[in-house]
Homo-oligomer: A and B are copies of this chain.
Amino acid sequence: MTTWSSGAFTFAEGYLNASTIPAMEIGVGILGGGTVGGELARRMLEDREAILAKSGIDLRLRAVAVRELDKPRLFPSRYIVDRPDLVVSHPEVDLVVELMGGVDPAREMVLSALDLGKPVITANKELLSLHGPELFARAAAKGVSLLFEAAVGGGIPLIRPLSESLAGERIERVMGIVNGTTNFILTAMDSEGIPYQEALADAQRLGYAEANPTADVSGSDAAAKAAILAGLAFGRWVSIEQVHTEGIADLASQDLGFARQLGYTIKLLAVAETSPHGPAVRVHPALVPADHPLALIRGANNGVFLEGPSIGELLFLGPGAGGEPTATAVLGDVILASREFLAGTKVAPRVRFGNGDVRDFSEVETQWYLRLEVRDRPGVLARIAAVFGIHEVSIMSVWQDGRGDYATLLLVTHHARETNHRAAVKDLEALEVVRQVAATIRVVGAGP
């Protein structure tokens, strides 16, 4: 490692010329040699000169810890080691990149690296959403960087804009699509009219979904990301257990079809909002108006709105997953952490977290789409409307599909509290004229 020294600058014709500035070398160890780790190692080796010219940082790959020693890799095998702890403690590793995923042994490895005064870059949203406060406190105590741009939004810069560019804004809402797998599945269901299981199988065959897709389709991956975004946005750490989470496995393709007929698209949204009662963070499928920018995000892409009183609305769109975009985000963090590390002083944490309540989810208000199977006879709508009225849920619009003994009734309500909606659904199900409340899905972005 070469310590930064400003006296070494020279200037040709007033320019900051890359060739005249001494390189600042930094040894990097990577934990995990999979899709992202392998790509990162390859980029560090192949783009070393280009990165040096642009950033002044000479990234030297030292070792990559992998689980299976004999798999083909994107980088030479001489970098491979089989024990992550040896990478962390390696005397020539100045900086550690954690791409193992999961909590164990990732948590222990990150803490060890921080304890050794080594900056850590991680893309591990699960680890952060479960142990963020512990890790941030350790990094702050040691005065080293702990960066995690790749943990949310894949290649889209979200963490740094939120925690730095908007450090002076009172962020009120963060909303978007933060899981590429489910967006790929929903896009296929919507555009090809295929059922969930078929779309999931396609996604698995094409590598967009894992063999065990639970973390994605249950919404828990998106919930971890929503918790991280909420923590940074509101300066109050939110744990994943505090995120109300619903997945997409129960969505019926006919509801995507009805939604389209009504002018909506169904997306899995992450929504984090402030309120006087604390932040409310939730992940659930939602009908989004077809001309809403989030409705235009297709396939494995992600897109996130950041909203505040001064900034209005910012929207960031891009590839939400994949080895190459994610490795790019990690590499940006590696370069920044190197700059901070080479400055040789303690690094102050970017965001602090206050305490306070999280809002009771039952208080949250949204619009709803409901699909009811009802007896097709006069007076039915009046009885249904009466139930909504009792629970102070007001109906915005109603469509009837099909005639016969039974008809399908589609309703979109105005904003209603979660508790009121649930009570109305319970009473609807008890109505003799209602055969089934077949679907209830939130509606987001459709105006007041």
Contacts and interface: CB of A to CB of B under 8 A. Distances in A.
Interface of A: 4-6, 9, 11-19, 21, 24, 39, 43, 47, 50-51, 53-56, 133-134, 136-137, 140-143, 149, 155-157, 160-161, 164-170, 235, 237, 293, 296, 308-319, 324-325, 327-329, 331-332, 334-336, 339, 342-355
A311 B160 contact: no
B50 A170 contact: yes
Nearest to A318: B314
Given A9-B137, A168-B332, 16 more contacts: A4-B348, A13-B133, A14-B134, A15-B353, A18-B354, A47-B170, A54-B167, A54-B352, A157-B314, A168-B335, A169-B328, A311-B318, A311-B324, A314-B317, A315-B316, A344-B345
Contact of A19 (B164, B351, B354): B354
A94 B268 CA distance: 46
A349 B328 CA distance: 20
Contact of A168 (B24, B309, B328): B328
Contacts of A235: 18, 53-54
A162 to B, nearest CB: 9
B325 A310 contact: yes
Q: Is the interface of A mostly helix, strand, loop or mixed?
A: mixed
B17 A353 contact: yes
Given A24-B348, A165-B157, A352-B16, A141 B9 contact: yes
A319 B311 contact: yes
A156 B314 contact: yes
A56 B350 CA distance: 8
28 contacts: A4-B345, A6-B143, A9-B140, A11-B141, A13-B133, A15-B137, A16-B140, A16-B352, A17-B352, A18-B354, A19-B354, A53-B352, A155-B311, A157-B161, A160-B165, A164-B335, A164-B336, A166-B332, A167-B336, A168-B328, A168-B332, A168-B335, A311-B318, A311-B319, A312-B324, A314-B317, A339-B348, A343-B348
A311 B293 contact: no
A268 to B, nearest CB: 20
Nearest to A24: B348
B332 A312 contact: no
Contacts of A331: 167-169
A140 B328 contact: no
B168 A349 contact: no
B141 A6 contact: yes
A170 B133 CA distance: 34
A47 B168 CA distance: 8
Contacts of A164: 160, 332, 335-336
Contacts of A11: 137, 141
A143 B5 CA distance: 9
Nearest to A291: B296
B155 A157 contact: no
A55 B346 CA distance: 16
Nearest to A352: B18
A311 B324 CA distance: 7
